[in-house]
Structure 1
Amino acid sequence: MVKRRAFLRTAGASVVGATALAGCAGEESTDTTPSSSGGFAGTLRVATYSSFTGEGAAGNWLKSVFEAAHPEVTVEFMTPENGLNQYILRQQNGADIDADLYVGLNTAELVRADQEIETPLFESVESDLERAGTVKSGLQIDPDGRAIPYDTGYISLVYDEGEVENPGTFDALTSDAYQGDLIAQNAQQSDPGRAFLLWTIAEKGPDNYLEYWQDLLENDVTILSDWEPAYDAYMNEEAPMVVSYSTDQVFYHGDDVDIQKHQVGFLNDQGYANPEAMALFADADSPDLGRAFMDFVLSSEAQAEIAVRNVQFPAVEGVDPGEEFSQYAYEPPEPVTFAYDELAGNVDGWIEDWAREIAN
């Protein structure tokens, strides 16, 4: 399952050069190696999503640099097809987890794991990490200090300025002017789809969000399974707007790119913050190595690389991913998100009701 945007191979797309970025980050950072320089050895097994580990992706860069700092360590990635669900089921059935870290966890998934299994799936590590305190205020997703954010995206609209104006508000999306113009994702299967659903709940309230979605349906919204097919449909001009990320232009800019097709639209001057976090499995075979890797991910150099390679904002305060990233990445005037305590006991019901009345 593609958790979020993959690095699409399209002509004219431009990404900040990794070499230039590394030089920039190196000049500003004094903590560019893992904070724990002890004699680690062995294999660190990291479960994550596929686009985190592809060629040029953030995961491969992290693996290379961490292994260089610890020559007797091997970082091994696993990309389970069912994501976190695989580990929830294994825990429920008493099977070995067979991984040390999970990278790519969001708040709703953590809530679901806590609700569906009796024994903790993840270990509390916040007090053990030297750099945990550098994470931006407001991004923390776990009151128990298990899941540590490493980047964040803001869900927004991406639209073709040559075909349609920025709707500007949620209500405008249901008007005749935007009939058939929006592509969204299934909240049961897709991170941005779930985030967009939660954003509509934050805006319309738990008692009114389904009525709002009925209005979207009547206005011919298209709902596809996940981000990739939705964005492909948008690029194929099946509709002039798609639910996506406000960092869209970080990837799509340059002389050969029609920037009109990659305009970022915030609704009600908001964007839904969707932090991605990493967590150490409670039954990890290499817990100390896992903690060292997590602390390294929070270093300034790693944060700058992750931002550009993952096309998301750094989770750590004071990190500069470079001039090009800053020019094309947009933060909403008002970030919106649900905290862990707000989702606990609610999110499954919201999604189930949406799936029954809207997706079906």
Structure 2
Amino acid sequence: MKHTIMAAGLSVVAGAAFAQSPVLTVYTYDSFVSDWGPGPAIEAAFEAQCACDLQFVGAGDGAALLARLRLEGDATEADIVLGLDTNLTASARATGLFAAHGITPEGLTLPVAWDDAEFLPFDWGYFAFVHRTDLANVPTSFEALAASDISIVIQDPRSSTPGLGLLMWVQAAHGDNAAAIWEGLADNIVTVTPGWSEAYGLFLEGEADMVLSYTTSPAYHLIAEEDAGYTAAAFDEGHYMQIEVAGQLAGSDQPELAKAFLEFMLSPAFQEVIPMTNWMYPAALDPAALPDGFESLIAPATALLVAQDEAPAIRDAALATWQAALAR
């Protein structure tokens, strides 16, 4: 009986201690919190230093995060949103839901300068069409892809940041000719999925010859699976860059803890997890520290990127062009 009472007492004490731990809620995309994504390792590393309970909440794909925030407004339970990109930051800022982070980032290894009061980068990469190395007649441009009978799977730009990135890529590379490019690509598209995971899964199941993903995606197959049979097609017009970011909600009831997480996000404990779980380039890690295999990836000759403040107008026009082309 004494042991039972003591055990019960310890349980109460432990429960009280746990209840007192502050909770930090981070909205992110589903693949980030998957068993094979960065979430589990990052959660363990941050909780080891914060005396808190870090809770990741998967909210679909990247672009779906902004839609959820708009729906929830000031009532959102999120303290941090992680997984928007520079195509969405201007629209996110316009909601008034984000607070200035007050952090001067040091040691960034992005290929572009960074100056943003609300958002901080955590990784980056280039969009590309991934395929098996035995694919014949690999296209080297959007025009060549449109003229081919190669099948592709892409993501919906209304819910997916890669899908939106493809729209911006075509628009940045082809401008007034974007509509013709999409009209040519329409019969190459097998399906449009809500997010990246669904599209990549269909590709791996053999449902399409190529999938919209990243130049870094073949590193997963090479390193994790020891399969050198995947690569990314290099396009002559260049490749669009994605920079993924996180921001703190102005209504967070844990502002100091949220800032601590953003600072942690730029530390080696976070950044070293990214290459072999999110399979992207870290935003604040010496390239020399990248795993073996990353040096084999294609390096785009031309990097394309639309300025954050110009993205909303270009995005809206590109979306209308895409919808009109695929409706024909």
* TM-score range for the pair, normalised by the shorter chain length: 0.7 to 0.9
Deviation at 1:110, TM superposition (A): 2.1
Q: 1:295 aligns with which of 257, 260, 263?
A: 263
**Counterpart Cα distance in 2 of 1:359 and 1:135:** 41
- Alpha-carbon contact 2:99-2:248 (below 8 Å) kept: yes
- Alpha-carbon contact 2:129-2:210 (below 8 Å) kept: yes
* Residue 122 (structure 1) aligned with residue 98 (structure 2): yes
Note the alpha carbon deviations across 1:214-257, whole angstroms, 9 max, x for none.
1112x533342132332233223233222211112221126976
Partner of 1:159: 131
**Counterpart Cα distance in 1 of 2:77 and 2:224:** 46
Partner of 1:335: 303
**Counterpart Cα distance in 2 of 1:105 and 1:167:** 30
Deviation at 1:209, TM superposition (A): 0.6
Structural mapping, 1:82-97, within 5 Å: 82-91=64-73, 95-97=74-76
- Alpha-carbon contact 1:251-1:311 (below 8 Å) kept: yes
Structure 2: state its 5+ residue gaps: 1-19
Structure 1: state its 5+ residue gaps: 1-39
- Alpha-carbon contact 1:159-1:265 (below 8 Å) kept: yes
Q: 1:250 aligns with which of 216, 219, 234?
A: 219
Q: 1:182 to 1:288 in 2, by over 3 A?
A: same
Task: Tell me the amino acid that sits aligned with residue 124 of structure 1.
Answer: A
Deviation at 1:107, TM superposition (A): 1.9
RMSD of aligned Cα (Å): 2.5
Structural mapping, 1:1-360, within 5 Å: 42-70=22-50, 72-81=51-60, 82-91=64-73, 95-115=74-94, 117=95, 120-125=96-101, 128-132=102-106, 134=108, 136-138=110-112, 140=114, 144-175=116-147, 178-205=148-175, 207-217=176-186, 219-225=187-193, 226-253=195-222, 259-260=228-229, 262-268=230-236, 270-316=238-284, 318-358=286-326
Q: TM-score, normalised by structure 2?
A: 0.83
**Counterpart Cα distance in 1 of 2:215 and 2:178:** 23
Q: 3-state SS of the aligned residue for 2:188?
A: coil
Q: 3-state SS of the aligned residue for 2:313?
A: coil
State the structure with more CA Rg. Answer: 2
Task: Tell me the amino acid that sits aligned with residue 138 of structure 1.
Answer: V
Between 1:288-297 and 1:166-175, the stretch displaced more is 166-175
Q: 3-state SS of the aligned residue for 2:87?
A: helix
**Counterpart Cα distance in 2 of 1:254 and 1:111:** 36
Task: Tell me the amino acid that sits aligned with residue 50 of structure 1.
Answer: D
**Counterpart Cα distance in 1 of 2:113 and 2:298:** 17
Task: Tell me the amino acid that sits aligned with residue 239 of structure 2.
Answer: G
Q: 3-state SS of the aligned residue for 1:253?
A: helix
Q: 1:245 to 1:273 in 2, by over 3 A?
A: same
**Counterpart Cα distance in 2 of 1:269 and 1:290:** 40
- Alpha-carbon contact 1:185-1:224 (below 8 Å) kept: yes
For these two proteins, the number of residue pairs brought into alignment is 305
- Alpha-carbon contact 1:151-1:306 (below 8 Å) kept: yes
- Alpha-carbon contact 1:186-1:223 (below 8 Å) kept: no
Q: TM-score, normalised by structure 1?
A: 0.77
How much identity, in percent, do the aligned residues show? 26
- Alpha-carbon contact 2:154-2:212 (below 8 Å) kept: yes
